């Protein structure tokens, strides 16, 4: 008896360990994972057949010869099958259109091998003295040839499909091909070594460790899939045209929950959300960021129903650790991820609309062509702003402000516009928020302030009866410690009187940047510049802030002007506000006056200044002074 099966036993053990690890884990079932499992089963079968053939050879005297023959041939066929499944695994990521072509090519050697095995006989060589067993003859030779053909076609496939196979996979496949080739050569010259099974198992381990460990795609703590898993699966779904619906859930109040209840509760909240999502049938859950989850639904399932269910769930408090916690979550969804050409674009869109969905918590945001066009406009505007800042394409328009008592225009508000590359004007409503978010507002604010100072210096506004120009300040500008210093320097540089500037701040700035803002205000007021509170009536209109701040003017927002016409309550509130502001020693500008009736109403209330289309829209600097002159 010759039992040189140590390598086979080791190979069997290795393959079983890998098999156990792989099948015992939560998986995403990528095409490559499925191909890997097939390869693993083929390898396992081949190793078992290898062992069985050795057993059969050892008992060849007591067994019918066709059984020994069949065992050896089945083993030889299994080697070519493993090579074939290896080729399939190598091209598992290749486009669904081209994959069948490669598969057909690789299956041909397998069929030919089968035919050869049926026709020719496998010789069995046994040298009992030297403890050597091996098979030889035409069939063995053919097996070598077809395995070599497989190695070659796989190499060819990987080279041809280079672009659609990730580098990591390509490298793993190359190293696997080299291992097989070396093993084949050794085996060819030293038949008795019986290395094949062992090398197959080692190759499998290499692939598993480098590519196919499903743990790479798992978020350990919450047992959902991670960003990487999302990327890989979505890439594959897009490539294979799997029309998958996707819903994203962006939780926006994890920080608040952390501040109130602590980090442990945040972990629990996230875990509860994951458990809930995982339990929905037909979904796969991914955690893309700490607070962003995406779930895919099986193609063709009722996505609207799922979204509605999620909306209801997230509109109610969750019970976590016997405490009722409100999770603030924005929902955005796509009916088919295949509207995107690649996964990077999909990921960008998912993140973009996750942020957008937090701005409209009540209504889930459908990512359709309209929403995408909206995003394109936003991106275009963002680009236009960057371009405008670089290419001196920032313009300041001026809206005259009418002084009721004096019956003339005595001030103007500076309002920024930009022109894009095509010369189209873009309004501040479209870019200020973005500029505030990315800090560009500081550069923009600086440009606007300089342009206003230049205008005051060059056009001698006092000759037109204009006492000052109101300039809007963003919250971000108000946060700057050096704001007062910078503005004083600019005013000095343009040699303009400080009282010809009035800076408009908003309540948000007053609340968020109180200390820095107060310092800046004191500094600038001491210099001679005045301040006004813009958009009164849109926020909380908190009295404490108004009382505590050295403001010259309160600007009543257009929304109040509109409400005044239609609601008795608004009329009463406005009348009290006007009275209160006057008693506090400040003056009032009413914004958004469009009709004579509105003008007369507010004139009757005793407000000092009126601003609105009734008199004039904001005008470019070349036209505004002509307009004022016509009134003089
Ligand atoms: P705001 O400071 O409240 O400016 C008044 C806005 O109302 C201006 O819009 C003006 O054109 C518009 N408006 C004035 N009268 C009427 C009217 O009778 N009817 C209507 N429908 N609208 C009227 P604009 O120029 O689009 O500016 C929008 C906002 O953008 C401004 O609101 C201000 O918050 C911001 N903004 C404008 N320029 C600047 C700037 O240079 N810096 C900063 N930080 N923000 C600016
Ligand atoms: Mg303003
Ligand atoms: Mg305003």
398, 400, 415, 589, best to mutate for ligand 1 pocket (most atoms within 8 Å of CB) = 415
d(CA 613, CA 632): 19
546 pLDDT above the threshold of 80: no
Per the structure block, which two tokens stand in for 586? 């400040």
Q: Which residues contact 32 (CB under 8 A, 6 or more apart)?
A: 89, 92, 93, 169, 211, 212, 236
What Å distances lie between residue 422 and 383, 393, 618, CA to CA?
Answer: 12, 11, 22
89 pLDDT above the threshold of 90: no
Q: What percent of the chain has pLDDT over 90?
A: 58
pLDDT in tens, 188-217: 887 777 788 888 888 888 888 877 777 788
Is 594 touching ligand 1 by the criterion CB < 6 Å?
yes
**Mean predicted lDDT score pLDDT of the chain:** 90
pLDDT of residue 541: 67
pLDDT of residue 436: 93
| SS3 assignment, position 5 | coil
Q: Whose CA is nearest to atom 7 of ligand 1?
A: 592
Is 429 touching ligand 1 by the criterion CB < 6 Å?
yes
Q: Whose CA is nearest to atom 34 of ligand 1?
A: 472
pLDDT in tens, 581-620: 999 999 999 999 999 999 999 999 999 999 999 999 999 9
Is 598 touching ligand 1 by the criterion CB < 6 Å?
no
Nearest to 379 by CA among 367, 368, 371: 371
**pTM of this prediction exceeds 0.95:** no
Which ligand has the minimum distance to the alpha carbon of residue 446? 1
Model confidence band, residue 532 (pLDDT cutoffs 50, 70, 90): very high
310 pLDDT above the threshold of 80: yes
Ligand 2 centroid to 588 CA: how many Å?
13
Is 33 touching ligand 1 by the criterion CB < 6 Å?
no
* Bridge partners for 531 per DSSP: 503
What Å distances lie between residue 616 and 220, 570, 628, CA to CA?
Answer: 63, 25, 10
Ligand 1 centroid to 471 CA: how many Å?
11
Is 562 touching ligand 1 by the criterion CB < 6 Å?
no
Residue 557 CA, closest ligand 1 atom number: 3
Model confidence band, residue 68 (pLDDT cutoffs 50, 70, 90): confident
* Sheet with 246-251, edge to edge strand ranges: 218-219, 224-226, 283-289, 292-297, 246-251, 329-334, 365-366
Ligand 3 centroid to 380 CA: how many Å?
26
Q: Tally Cβ neighbours within 10 Å of residue 433.
A: 12
> Phi and psi for 466 in degrees, rounded to 5?
-85, 120
Q: Whose CA is nearest to atom 21 of ligand 1?
A: 592
Over range 361-382, report the average pLDDT: 93
Q: What percent of the chain has pLDDT over 70?
A: 97
547 pLDDT above the threshold of 80: no
Model confidence band, residue 396 (pLDDT cutoffs 50, 70, 90): very high
* Bridge partners for 333 per DSSP: 247, 366
d(CA 611, CA 267): 52
529 pLDDT above the threshold of 90: yes
* Bridge partners for 554 per DSSP: 533, 588
Is 470 touching ligand 1 by the criterion CB < 6 Å?
no
Is 472 touching ligand 1 by the criterion CB < 6 Å?
yes
**Are the C-beta atoms of residues 523 and 489 closer than 8 Å to each other?**
no
Q: What domains can you pick out in the chain, each with its CATH number?
A: 6-212 (1.20.1070.10), 216-367 (3.30.70.270), 393-631 (3.20.20.450)
Residue 535 CA, closest ligand 1 atom number: 3
d(CA 252, CA 291): 7
**Each residue of 116-151: b (16+ CB within 10 Å) or e?**
bbeeeebebeeeeeeeebbbeeebbebbbebbbbbb
pLDDT in tens, 269-285: 999 999 999 999 989 99
338 pLDDT above the threshold of 90: yes
Residue 436 CA, closest ligand 1 atom number: 44
388 pLDDT above the threshold of 90: yes
Model confidence band, residue 105 (pLDDT cutoffs 50, 70, 90): confident
Ligand 2 centroid to 457 CA: how many Å?
22
Q: Which helix (H) or strand (E) holds 25?
A: none
Model confidence band, residue 104 (pLDDT cutoffs 50, 70, 90): confident
pLDDT in tens, 341-370: 999 999 999 999 999 999 988 899 999 999
Q: Determine whether 410 is exposed, middle or buried from the number of CB atoms within 10 Å of its CB (0-12, 13-18, 19+).
A: buried
Q: Whose CA is nearest to atom 33 of ligand 1?
A: 472
| SS3 assignment, position 13 | helix
Is 415 touching ligand 1 by the criterion CB < 6 Å?
yes
Ligand 1 centroid to 535 CA: how many Å?
10
């Amino acid at each position: 008896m010759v039992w040189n099966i140590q390598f086979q036993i080791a190979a069997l053990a290795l393959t079983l360990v890998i098999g156990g690890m792989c099948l015992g884990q939560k998986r995403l079932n990528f095409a490559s994972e499925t191909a890997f499992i097939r390869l693993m089963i083929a390898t396992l079968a081949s190793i078992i057949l290898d062992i069985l053939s050795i057993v059969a050879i050892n008992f060849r005297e007591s067994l019918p010869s066709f059984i020994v023959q069949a065992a050896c041939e089945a083993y030889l066929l299994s080697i070519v099958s493993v090579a074939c499944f290896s080729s399939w695994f190598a091209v598992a990521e290749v486009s669904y259109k081209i994959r069948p072509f490669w598969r057909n090519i690789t299956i041909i050697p397998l069929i030919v091998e089968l035919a050869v095995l049926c026709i020719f006989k496998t010789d069995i060589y046994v040298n009992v003295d030297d403890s050597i067993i091996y098979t030889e003859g035409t069939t063995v030779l053919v097996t070598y040839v077809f395995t070599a053909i497989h190695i070659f076609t796989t190499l060819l496939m990987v080279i041809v499909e280079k672009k659609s196979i990730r580098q990591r996979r390509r490298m793993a496949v190359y190293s696997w091909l080299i291992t097989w080739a070396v093993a084949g050569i050794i085996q060819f010259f030293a038949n008795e070594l019986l290395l094949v099974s062992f090398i197959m198992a080692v190759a499998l381990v290499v692939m598993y460790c480098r590519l196919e460990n499903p743990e790479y795609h798992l978020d350990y703590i919450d047992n959902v899939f991670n960003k990487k898993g999302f990327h890989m699966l979505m890439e594959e779904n897009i490539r294979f045209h799997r029309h998958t619906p996707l819903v994203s859930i962006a939780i926006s109040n994890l920080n608040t929950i952390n501040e109130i209840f602590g980090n442990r509760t945040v972990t629990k909240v996230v875990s509860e959300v994951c458990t809930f999502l995982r339990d929905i049938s037909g979904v796969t859950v991914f955690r893309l960021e700490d607070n962003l989850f995406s779930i895919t639904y099986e193609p063709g399932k009722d996505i609207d129903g799922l979204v509605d269910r999620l909306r209801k769930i997230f509109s109610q408090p969750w019970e976590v650790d016997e405490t009722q916690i409100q999770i603030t979550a924005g929902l955005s969804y796509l009916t088919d991820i295949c509207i995107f050409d690649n996964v990077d674009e999909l990921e960008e869109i998912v993140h973009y609309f996750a942020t957008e969905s937090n701005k409209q918590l009540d209504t889930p945001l459908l990512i359709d062509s309209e929403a995408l066009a909206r995003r394109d406009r936003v991106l275009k505007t963002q680009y236009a702003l960057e371009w405008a800042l670089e290419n001196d394409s920032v313009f300041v328009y001026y809206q005259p402000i009418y002084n009721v008592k004096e019956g003339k225009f005595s001030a103007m508000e500076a309002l920024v516009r930009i022109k894009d590359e095509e010369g189209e004007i873009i309004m501040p409503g479209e870019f200020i928020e973005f500029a505030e978010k990315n800090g560009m507002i500081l550069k923009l604010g600086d440009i606007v302030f300089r342009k206003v100072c230049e205008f005051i210096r060059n056009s001698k506004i006092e000759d037109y009866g204009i006492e000052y120009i109101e300039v809007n300040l963003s919250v971000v500008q108000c946060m700057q410690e050096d704001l007062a210093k910078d503005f004083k320097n600019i005013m000095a540089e343009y040699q303009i009187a400080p009282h010809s500037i009035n800076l408009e701040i908003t309540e948000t700035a007053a609340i968020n940047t109180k200390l820095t803002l107060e310092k800046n205000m004191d500094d600038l007021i001491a210099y001679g510049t005045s301040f006004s509170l813009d958009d009164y009536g849109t926020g909380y209109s908190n009295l404490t802030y108004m009382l505590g701040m050295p403001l010259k003017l309160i600007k009543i927002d257009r929304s109040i002007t509109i409400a005044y016409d239609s609601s008795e309550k608004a009329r009463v509130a406005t009348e009290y506000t006007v009275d209160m502001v006057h008693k506090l020693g400040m003056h009032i500008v009413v914004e958004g006056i469009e009709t004579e009736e509105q003008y007369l109403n507010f004139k009757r209330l005793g407000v000092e200044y009126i601003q609105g289309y009734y008199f004039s829209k904001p005008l470019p600097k070349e036209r505004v002074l002509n307009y004022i002159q016509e009134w003089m």
